[in-house]
Structure 1
Amino acid sequence: MKLTEIFKLISRNWFLLVAVTSVTMASIYFFTRDQDDQYTSDTTIYTGIATGYNLGNVTESSAQYKAANNAFANLISIIDSRDIRKELGFKLLASHLMLKSYDATVLQESTYNTLQELVPAALKAKLIGATAEETAANLSAYYHASKSNVIRDIINSEDMIYSDKAFSTIVAKRIGESDLLQISFTSNDAGNTKNTLDLLTELVIRDHRKLFTAQSESVVDYFEKATEASFQKLKQAEENLLSFQKTNNIIDFNSQVGSTATEKNNLMGKYNDLEIDYAGALSTLNSLEQNLKDRGVPNLYSQEVLQLKNKLSKITTEIVQLELLNKGNKNAAQESRMNALKQEADELSKKMLGSVDKHYTNTHTMQGLPTAALLTDWVKTTFLIEELKSKMSLINKQQAMYAREYEKLMPLGAENKMIIREVDMAEQEYLAQLDGLKQSKLNQQNFEIISQLKVIDPPYLPGSPITSLRVIITVLGGIAALLLTLGFILAHAFLDQSLRKPSVAAKKMQYPIFGVLPETDATNAKQLLLAQNAEDQLARQLILKMRQKTSTAGPFVVGVLSSMSGEGKTALCHTLANSLSTMGIETQILYPENHKGQTVADAHSSFYAPLHGVLADASVADLAGVGYLDNAVILVEFPALLEDTYPVSLLKHLDLVLLTVRSNRAWQQADKIMFENIQQVTNAPIETVLSAVQSDDAKEMVVVRPKHVVQEQKALQAPKALTTA
């Protein structure tokens, strides 16, 4: 829906909008006329909450902001709590009962008199104590003493100023992002407004300080105990770890396991290399011995040689141990011992060679090859084998040692990890509790600061009532009624399925729009002028259609049809006939005979029986009579097609079919089917005349011309000249 259409709807329904709004506002004002005047007062309290949290500097700014907001929310919750309002009622009633006489600065006279009537003098004397606190305590005790008593009735009465309903207008809010809290209260008693805020402020400051003090003390006490418990737990876990490491000779479990595995693998590789070298040396030795035997060398392993060999083996073993075990940690003594052993080994090698050589006198073989070189190689190879055997034996021992160490450490891994995890968890718990203790002590210092609420703007005694809410409620009610009514009108227009205006009718009916008949008010000159222009346009449209007729024989026959009665067929016929006659065009109207008594026949109109066009093949000339050819235009009004019998035989004689339909109704399926059937019978084009169109909607088809232009329009030529043109 376009904005212009919304404005048209508003202008069209302005009276309804004004009427509904006015009635609503008048009703609200009437029913709220008995409201009492309302007085309001407020007080401002400095809390120190935001500043206090910033002084602590224990969290990030975002967390401080959240903490400050939470603190204000807690403070407001205290003010809104049911307990504090119940206590406020007791203290307020106590202050009123302790009055010796009426005081306008405390409460209004009507409330004072009502209170004197409700509380008997004997009960009043019993309840009043030395101080206001004692009196309030007596009232509370009497209130809870039984389920039905005077004090209970007063406190719970919604008509009195001591109930929860009376305190429902207490509003507490933070002023911007500051440390200030504003509390306001509205009542129909000026003195009671100030008195209530004074007592409420005292209660809030007391409860707030009590809450923060108890909160900080309990939190600090909790963290002190939790920190001590977690410290003992950590201490015990560390002692368990130390005992476990001492028992199993563990300094660093992971390093020890890794080192043992690495050394084990290295020794295994070295041993494999030594085995290969030993096999090669042994093969060489066997070859040398066989070669020497072939050359006639005596027994190489005599008693003397074996002794020298065993001694050489021991010395070689010692040399290997010094080289492998003390590698990288040599000193002067070890270097001297190593040199002595090597020198002794060389001497033993020479002795072995000499022992073998003295039994062999011939130094050459039969083939003339020297034997001394073979003996030297044999001695060197023997020395090498002894050296390799010593290294292999030593590495075997080291492998066994590392294997035992590895087998010892591996089963301890899970237990060691579990004990270390216990130590880590105990340490984390202890650090967390220690941090919590630190935070709680810092917060305790902050709480001591921020719990000290100060009243910087005490409540005042209102001198005049606030602006009556009746005016505001009335205005808001009127606006709401206006908007609801406008919404209803827009919704109705949006959901409206009627034809409404020419553009909508053309889209829904699928027939071109011939013209419109606006809805007029006889007292409205603009609407009358619009209707006159619409009638003139209908006449001009009809003349244009007449000019489009190919055959000039006979008058131009127009059928005026509608689905139902009351669609404006008769009005259209009258309009066209009058407009054409004014222009000098002879026009005759044929009405169905059921219009007798409703329409007066004259020289330019007559009645016909629709049955004549149903039972026989009648023509328009048969129904129009003798003067048929004297007319330029014949307007034939058909009965309502969906209600009465209509002359079907006339349809094929029509030059134009004007379908009249009211703009305020919907185009139904029955209408559509009916005129689709009509279209199959007649060769005449079907065009729509929309009747009862709103003035604003009619302007889609009608151009409003000044009145003097309409009056100066000249008549056309005689119908005969027109028909013969």
Structure 2
Amino acid sequence: MFTPIIITIAAIYITRNLPRTFEVRTTVYTGIVSGYTIEGETGISDYIGVSNAMDNLINIIQAENTLKRVSYRLYSRNMVHGDLTKDNQFITASSFREIYNRTKYNRDGAKLLALIDSTSEEKTFQNILNYEKPNKDNFIYGLFYWNHPHYCYNSLKNIRVIRKNSSDLLEISYTSNDPGIAYNTLDILMKEFVNEYRDIRYGETDKVIAYFKAELDRIGTELKIAEDSLTDYNIKKRVINYYDETKEIASINKEFELREQNATLEFNSAKALISQLETRMGNNLIQIKNNIEFINKLNKVASLTGAISEIQSFNSGEASKTNNLASLKKQLENTSKELSDISNQYVEDKHTKEGISKSSIVSQWLDQVLLYEKAKSDLQVIQKNRRELNEKYEFFAPVGSTIKRKERNINFTEQNYLSVLRSYNDALMRKKNLEMTSATLKVLNPPAFPIQAQPTKRKIVVFAAFFGSFFLILGFFILLELVDRTLHDKVRTELFTNLKVIGAFPGKSLVKYRNYDKAVQAIATKYLSSAILPYLINKKENLPFIINFLSTESHDGKSFIINELMQYWCDAGLKVKYLNWDKDFNVYSSKYLIAQSVSDLYKIEDEDILLVEYPELKSNSISTNLLNEANLNLLIVRATRGWKEPDSILANKLSNQLTKNNLAIYLNKAERYVVEGYTGMLPPYNTYRRLIYRLLHLELTAKYEINK
């Protein structure tokens, strides 16, 4: 009981100066679940997506790179604003003296102090980043990767990030022994975390946007070059609209084919009629053909007819061409009339042999000649136009294939451009969506500077020391009880030996109870006498009551107990005889070994009780007759020794030798509480002893009458 108290007092003393800690908390709204996106949706709806997004945020906050930047910014802020003599909102004076001296007395202390720009945290931070190198001798690098209580990775990774239930909120907390360090660590972390989150989310999107923008510019340039090439080619080949022009050419060609057929038919018909009429004209034909004026007029008619045919073939409805055509027709009409007048002058006979008027034949011949000339002119114009159309066909055939090839290239490039443009717009929309979701990262509860330290764990330590030591000692003794085979008391003795215990005799008392040893021994002896008397029945003829005192080992106290018991009975007026194996008979003789009765070892007189002490059983045996002859075989065992396997074997052997139940155990050198289990309370009988006795026997509400 005293050991837990001593340990508790030691814990109280050791924890008298436990360091105080300050905790700072902040809450961040993420908007992952309920935030609004550019597509009009409200955040992520599936559980796995939400968990993944939240885990990403938590991992970014606790990432080594994020904490490294927090460490360097915190160091920069403290070195800029720290004060060696008094505490401030950035760092306490003691903490600043520690980091300042660590910096100053480093082997590169002068260079490190030169990094500190007292006018700007940002410049100091940039100087530190430039100075830091991945080298164990680099002070800044080591500050983060060694074990500094404020700036190292092992300290900063104790920042706790917890999602509040299933909400959009993250609770971030940090504990430090310096209130300024705790506050500024979270204050810096909130800014670095948001920047890191945006860099990570925007980084890939910006690269995708830059890629599509570059592709868009490249393909746009290719498209412009292809379109300019087609334009230049059309200009070079004088093509305005290839497809309409080729359709027009095909239509004109078809029209000319029909006109050519008609003209050819008219030409051949006129030619045949002229030939037929000329056979009837006779001398008139020769005279007419020899007339120069007629020939000239005829050529003029042919020329006018050709001009009219050409104008009619390509009449576009222009006013100038219409006027010219009317003029040419007027001239043709006049010239035809003049030809008719000339031809009429050469008619000799009025009628032919068939009786047909010659003037009518000449008139018909002239008409056919005019038709012939017209058909001839039309045919020539049409054939000329057909040749021009053939040339256009030859021109447009390669132009068409080239234009189609260029248009295919333009179309392919344009489709590619539009596809990249769509991807570019999607990437821009994705970035805008990320900007909107990133904008929802808001600090709802900013970190507040702690003005009161957290309760220490001193009470917990003290209680843990007390109850821990108590249960440890209790467990030790319970384990000891489970594995220890020392007899100690009645319960353990009967458990280990399977024999009945009839009493216990006390050992030497502590100093404060030593004056009561005689009285206690007398009480124990008296109880032993009363415990033995029930066995002293059925006295055999010519024999006294016989009590055998046995033991499995030597020095168990048989002689002492026999002497105390013998003295008690003698004082009571009984005749008692004490036989000792070492004095009264020889255990090594044949007489002892084959003895059938105790009378073979000793001459019986008039004694009432015979007390026989035998040697220890482990080295000597006792005949069965001697054991069964006794009224009681009392096995004396020290309560302070263990019950071993040889003891069990000897006790079982002894039990097997006996034919009646007259074997019992008596404990020697037992504790006072064991003896009190048989005799009742032992002296001294003071109030304290009475209270302890009642508690041990659970007499919590018992009442006793006092006899006066």
TM-score range, shorter chain: 0.5 to 0.7
Matched residue of 1:165: which SS? helix
Could you tell me how far apart the structure 2 residues matched to 1:532 and 1:101 are?
83
Shift of 1:39: 2.6
Asked whether the equivalents of residues 134 and 141 of structure 2 are also in contact (C-alpha less than 8 Å), the reply is no
Q: Is the Cα–Cα contact under 8 Å of residues 568 and 662 in structure 1 kept in the other structure?
A: yes
Q: Deviations over 1:438-477 (max 9, x none)?
A: 9xx9999699447622223222322243333455334324
SS in 1 for 2:132: helix
The Cα shift of 1:490 comes to: 1.6
1:128 matched to 2:117? The reply is yes
Residue 549 of structure 2 corresponds to 560
1:488 pairs, out of 476, 500, 509, with 476
1:184 partner letter: S
Kindly report which structure 2 residues correspond to 1:33-44, keeping only aligned pairs within 5 A, or say none: 36-44=19-27
Q: 1:688 aligns with which of 665, 671, 674?
A: 665
CA contact (8 A) 2:162 2:170 kept: yes
Worse-matched range after superposition: 647-656 or 570-579: 647-656
1:92 aligns with 2:92: no
* RMSD (CA atoms): 4.7
Contact 1:217 1:444 in 2 (8 A): no
Question: Structure 1, residues 124-169: CA drift from partner, whole Å, max 9, x if none?
Answer: 3445397433432321221127552333344444245211233244
- Give the CA deviation at 1:482: 2.7
Task: Give the aligned partner of residue 618 of structure 2.
Answer: 642
1:82 corresponds, among 30, 50, 64, to: 64
Computing the radius of gyration from Cα coordinates, the structure with the larger value is 2
- 2:632 is aligned, of 656, 677, 693, to 656
Q: Is 1:201–2:190 an aligned residue pair?
A: yes
Please point out which of 154, 167, 176 is paired with 1:165.
154
Alignment map for 1:382-421 (pairs within 5 Å): none
Aligned pair 1:589/2:574, yes or no? no
Q: Is residue 128 of structure 2 the alignment partner of residue 152 of structure 1?
A: no
CA distance in 2, matches of 1:591, 1:112: 88
Write the distance in 1 (CA, Å) between the matches of 2:9 and 2:551: 47
Per-residue deviation at 1:561?
0.5
The residue aligned with 2:650 is 674
Task: Give, in angstroms, the shift of residue 219 of structure 1.
Answer: 11
Task: Specify whether residues 80 and 580 from structure 1 end up closer, same or farther in structure 2 by C-alpha distance, changes over 3 A only.
Answer: farther
Distance 1:511 1:121, change over 3 A: closer
| Cα distance in 1 between the residues matched to 2:579 and 2:205 | 104
Structure 2 runs not aligned, ≥5 long? 212-425, 686-708
Partner residue, 1:544 = 534
Query: Take 2:191 and 2:80, find their aligned partners in 1: how far apart are those partners?
Result: 18
* Residues 1:474 and 1:168: Cα distance change in structure 2 (over 3 Å): farther
Assess, with a 3 A threshold, how the Cα gap between structure 1 residues 673 and 116 changes in structure 2: closer, same or farther.
closer
- Check 1:70–1:646 CA distance in 2 against 1; reply closer, same or farther (3 A cut): same
Tell me the CA shift for residue 545 of structure 1. Answer: 0.8
Native 8 Å contact 1:49 1:450 kept in 2: no
Task: State how far apart, in whole Å, the 1-side matches of 2:577 and 2:432 are.
Answer: 107
**Are the counterparts in 1 of residues 115 and 128 from structure 2 also a CA contact under 8 Å?**
no
Q: What does residue 404 of structure 1 align with?
A: none
**Displacement, 1:36?**
3.5
Q: Give the residue type in structure 2 aligned to 1:560.
A: F
Q: Distance in 1 between matches of 2:137 and 2:513?
A: 73
Q: Aligned partners of 2:66 and 2:81: how far apart in 1?
A: 23
- Given that 2:33 and 2:44 are in contact with CA atoms closer than 8 Å, whether structure 1 keeps it comes out as no
Structure 1, residues 60-92: CA drift from partner, whole Å, max 9, x if none?
7xx43x544444333322222211111111101
Matched residue, 2:608: 632
SS in 2 for 1:456: strand
| Of 6, 15, 31, the match for 1:48 | 31
SS in 2 for 1:137: helix
Tell me, in whole angstroms, the C-alpha distance in 1 between the residues paired with 2:476 and 2:208: 61
| CA distance 1:144–1:587, shift in 2 (3 Å) | same
Cα distance in 2 for partners of 1:178, 1:520 equals 74
Deviations 1:458-514 (A, max 9, x none): 223222433334553343244333333222222222223444544554454343433
Further displaced range: 115-124 or 48-57:
48-57
Task: Tell whether the 8 Å contact from 1:611 to 1:647 is kept in structure 2 after alignment.
Answer: no
CA distance in structure 1 between the partners assigned to 2:518 and 2:203 by the alignment: 87
Measured after TM superposition, the shift of residue 200 of structure 1 is 1.4
| C-alpha distance in 1 between matches for 2:519 and 2:630 | 32
CA distance in 2, matches of 1:90, 1:466: 26
Q: Which sections of structure 1, spanning at least 5 residues, go unmatched?
A: 1-14, 223-437, 594-606, 710-725
**Cα offset, 1:637, TM superposition:** 1.9
Letter in 2 for 1:671: D
Asked if structure 1 preserves the Cα contact closer than 8 Å seen for 2:497 and 2:651, the reply is: no
Q: Which runs of structure 2 are paired with 1:255-334 in the superposition (5 Å)?
A: none
- Give the Cα separation in 1 of the matches to 2:16 and 2:682: 54
Cα shift at 1:575: 4.8
* Residues 1:707 and 1:142: Cα distance change in structure 2 (over 3 Å): closer
Q: CA deviation at 1:636?
A: 1.6
Amino acid in the other structure paired with 2:29: Y
Contact 1:614 1:647 in 2 (8 A): no
Partner amino acid for 1:77? N
Cα pair distance change 1:184/1:489, threshold 3 Å: same
Contact 1:44 1:182 in 2 (8 A): yes
Contact 1:614 1:648 in 2 (8 A): no
Distance 1:521 1:76, change over 3 A: farther
Determine helix, strand or coil for the equivalent of 1:490: helix
Distance 2:31 2:43 in 1: 16
Question: Quick one: structure 1 residues 79 and 59, their matched pair in 2 at CA, closer, same or farther if it must change by over 3 Å?
Answer: closer
SS at match of 1:144: coil
85, 93, 109: which is aligned to 2:93? 109
Contact 1:105 1:461 (8 Å CA) reproduced: yes
Task: Give the whole-Å Cα distance in 2 for the aligned partners of 1:207 and 1:84.
Answer: 7
Aligned equivalents of 2:618, 2:431: Cα separation in 1: 90
Question: Displacement of 1:210 after TM fit?
Answer: 3.9
Q: How far off its partner does 1:217 sit?
A: 8.6
Work out the CA distance in 2 between the residues paired with 1:443 and 1:620. 114
Confirm whether residue 459 of structure 1 aligns to residue 447 of structure 2.
yes
Identity %, equivalent residues: 23
State how far apart, in whole Å, the 2-side matches of 1:694 and 1:56 are. Answer: 84
* Whole-Å separation in 2 of the counterparts to 1:149 and 1:443: 39
- Cα distance in 2, alignment partners of residues 532 and 507 from structure 1: 28
CA distance in 1, matches of 2:56, 2:476: 45
Change (3 A) 1:128 1:58: closer
1:608 aligned counterpart, secondary structure: coil
Equivalent residue number for residue 235 of structure 2: none
What is the TM-score of this pair, normalised by structure 2? 0.54
Instruction: Tell me the secondary structure at the aligned position of residue 81 of structure 2.
Output: coil
- Report the AA paired with residue 140 of structure 1: L
